[in-house]
Structure 1
Amino acid sequence: TSPPRCAMARPAPRPYALPLAAPPDGAPAMPSPNPTSPLARAFAESAMPLTERGGAAVPEAIIDPRLERAALETAAGLVDLGFLGHFTAVGRHRQRFVHNMTTCQVKALTPGQGRFGLLVEQKGHVVAQLVVEAEADALRVEVMREKAEAAMAQLVKYRVADDVRFAELPGLHVLAVLGPTALDVVPEAEDLDDYAFRDVDLDGVPARVRRNPARLGIAGVDVTIAEDDAQRAYGALATRGALPCGQAALDAVRVASEWPWDGVDIGLDNLPLESARLYATVDWDKGCYIGQEVIAMTHYRGRPNKLLRRVTIAADAPDAAGATLTAGDKAVGVLGTASPVAVGGERTALAVIKRKHAEAGTILGLPGGGTARVEGGLDAPSA
């Protein structure tokens, strides 16, 4: 790995302390869900409201979602990605095998390089979004914690004579500094290519920093540390100038930029080409991989049957992910993530909608009598 880059000397700042959130109306200080990591326990001890994401407890909001969203869009926000997990691939065929199982280029990676891609099944449906990092003697694969078991099972299913072995890699925690000034906060990543990484000393905390061009809708830097070091790293990044942000603000920006949440907005019922953002994970020059034939056929005929779209719902409308969208008495779509941040009495959500009902301005029905207005969305390029 590359040695740490030397940062300019900076004055010794006061250590960052987690803000104490006063529980409303005498509510108990320990929020629900139960903390699932040392950092989550620290948030809970500060009476910080937690929410469940991908099997992990993470902060819903730190200060105010609107201020936090502004930081993510105009400066640098610090987000807890404790819902991400890891496993490793070792063996002399590891890169060739994972290359043949994913949409991204893996075989040509050299140590220190990485790629964002998808693991898909034989019909081209999305099993998991992932980041693959090439180390000197292994691959490190990052997925949603709740997807790790299914991802490894999908890989092992096709392992025959290949010399490749998979194992969980517990004990790691991911933070992200996101926004246009993220590299001012983490200059150690300034000269890295997209998804490339290096191991550094982050103000006394061993860390891996990775350039993230826009995986969550916002350019920035992912910072991976040991779970037991997560609170120290969080404090160091906040002290450097990143504003702590919760999931509500991250969701608001992610929905606005149409980045699908793995397993909620796009999953096993979907092809990558239904989302223009996930289209970018497909390397069209890499050759065959599991699911490639269906994905290529859909691309070259240029017509996925469903499309990821932004829709507008009332601020107080039920927003359960998985709710059916209807046109008359016909089911034509599925609601995904709804932004928790309302603007002008309305909220934006993501939804996968049948193509003929996905035109901007179309009004669709929600359970309980509400409506969703299609606002449009990005289309994947056609051949």
Structure 2
Amino acid sequence: MTIVMVEDLEPGSADAGVPAHYGDPMREQRLLETGVGLVDRSNREVIAVPGVERASWLHTLTTQHLSALRAHEGSELLVLSPNGHIEQHAFVTEDGTTAWLDTEPGAGAGLLKYLEMMRFFTQVEPREASAEIAVLSLVGPGAAALFPDLAAPRVHPVPETRFAAGSVPSQATSLYSVRAFEGGLARRVPLGVDLLVPRSAKDAVIEKLGVAPAGLWAYEAARVAARIPRLGWETDHRTIPAEVELMATSVHMEKGCYRGQETVARVHNLGRPPRRQVLLHLDGVATDHPPAHGTAVELDGRAVGFVGTAVRHHELGMIALAVLKRNVPDDARLTVGESAAAIDAE
């Protein structure tokens, strides 16, 4: 089997260490859309948070309602700056004794540093656990059939501006079913099922599952088509939660007292975030290479945003997630490098 690593194609990429594809990226994309494929995402970084006060402690530090999170439940959370800008995004998975936080490659050290700074006298012991746990993802409509006992993800819609008090349930806004699996955990998520398995057993788990592999390129194409943002790709140092599609999964609007909460509430009540996340279709006439992360999106020669992740999709062609100024109209004639671009307003 041909295995092409991310670093072989993109030297210096933050996603180094996992396969980009296995010889046929388009076939792998179709597999993730019609069946199920196994994606090695073991470059994700993992923080373990054991301790009897972990749930209430994480509840006070992050945007998510976690005080009621029970064993075998998962969710998503954000850590914000004092001004409400996104600093960290992580999935949280609770096994009854430890909350496992998995985040983007390169983000773990910053998340752990913040947690350690905020320990004070709380009974928690956060530690780096990337050497212990590897993340694998089963992606596609067939993933759920492999774990029929895991309930479908539940995501509470973002409430309208000036919503009535008590209208948001006192629980995590995104709730993911979890169960034990091969010495680790299986977590049902919107794209399929994530597996947090002992790193020492990763190869054995892959062999036992017997699911056809797909590379990170295929995973990224599925993610972009689903409009799911990534920390560091669709976010920059100025990004606030209302600008990207993390509000429903990661922010509880009736939970206060976390850093940056005032900005979240003010922007939500006004209903006017400075920027918004969009899906762009690129014509690909002048070039067949997706634009690099950070490439400017222009309107009449003026920069109005940036490209987060651009991919070549097997059906949609060249597409990208981008963050644009809020006042850019849906029918604007945009350019990205040498390509014309149009907003998918669906």
TM-score (normalizing by structure 2):
0.83
CA RMSD for the aligned pairs? 2.7
Higher relative contact order (CA 8 A, sep 6+): 2
Residue 318 (structure 2) aligned to one of 347, 350, 356: 347
**What is the DSSP-based 3-state SS (H/G/I as helix, E as strand, rest coil) of the residue aligned with 2:78?**
strand
Aligned equivalent of 1:73? 33
Aligned counterparts, 1:311-322, within 5 A: 311-315=280-284, 316-317=288-289, 319-322=291-294
Residue type of the partner of 2:134? H
Unmatched segments (≥5 aa) in structure 1: 1-18, 22-29, 35-48, 378-383
Q: Which runs of 5+ in 2 are unaligned?
A: 155-174
Work out the CA distance in 1 between the residues paired with 2:213 and 2:10.
14
The 10-residue stretch of structure 1 (50-59 or 326-335) with the greater mean CA deviation from structure 2: 50-59
8 Å Cα contact 2:5-2:20 kept in structure 1: no
**Equivalent position amino acid for 1:325 in 2:** V
Task: Kindly indicate whether residue 339 of structure 2 is the aligned counterpart of residue 362 of structure 1.
Answer: no
Equivalent in the alignment of 1:336:
308
* Shift of residue 160, structure 1, vs aligned partner: 3.8
Identity %: 26
Letter of the structure 2 residue corresponding to residue 328 of structure 1: D
Preserved contact between residue 234 and residue 244 of structure 2 (Cα < 8 Å): no
Equivalent residue, structure 2, for 1:150 = 110
CA distance in 2, matches of 1:298, 1:336: 22
Q: Against the structure 1 CA distance between its residues 97 and 364, is the aligned structure 2 distance closer, same or farther, given a 3 Å change threshold?
A: same
Q: 1:334-354: CA deviations, max 9, x gaps? A: 11111133658x401011000
Q: What amino acid maps onto 2:342 in structure 1?
A: R
Distance 2:310 2:41 in 1: 19
Residue among 265, 271, 291 paired with 2:260? 291
Q: 1:176-203, CA deviations, whole angstroms, 9 ceiling, x for partnerless residues?
A: 11222212223464699842322234xx
Q: Residue 224 in 1 paired to residue 196 in 2? A: yes
Match of 2:7 in 1: 33
What residue number does 1:200 align with? 181
SS of residue paired to 1:286: coil
Q: Cα–Cα, structure 1 residues 210 and 318, in superposed 2: closer, same or farther, change >3 Å? A: closer
Contact 2:135 2:196 in 1 (8 A): yes
Q: 1:182 corresponds to which residue?
A: 143
CA distance in 2: counterparts of 1:159 and 1:226, whole angstroms: 26
Over 3 Å counting, the alpha-carbon distance change for 1:318 and 1:254 in structure 2 is: closer
Q: Is the 8 A contact 1:50 1:58 kept in 2?
A: no
AA in 2 matched with 1:207: G
Aligned to 1:324: 296
Q: Call closer, same or farther: CA 1:178–1:252 in 2, change over 3 Å.
A: same
Q: Which amino acid aligns with 1:182?
A: A
**Where do residues 107-256 of structure 1 align in structure 2 (5 Å cutoff)?**
107-169=67-129, 170-187=131-148, 189=150, 194-201=175-182, 206-212=183-189, 214=190, 218=191, 220-237=192-209, 239=210, 242-256=211-225
TM-score of the pair, normalised by structure 1: 0.76
Deviations 1:88-111 (A, max 9, x none): 223443222211121212111122
Is the 1:63–1:245 Cα contact (8 Å) retained in structure 2? no
Letter in structure 1 aligned against 2:319: T
Which protein has the larger Cα radius of gyration, Structure 1 or Structure 2? 1
| Correspondence for 1:260 | 229
Count of residue correspondences: 322
Query: What secondary structure does 1:294 align onto?
Result: helix
Q: Whole-Å Cα distance in 2 between the matches of residues 134 and 78 of structure 1? A: 23
1:301-316 equivalence runs, <5 A = 301-315=270-284, 316=288
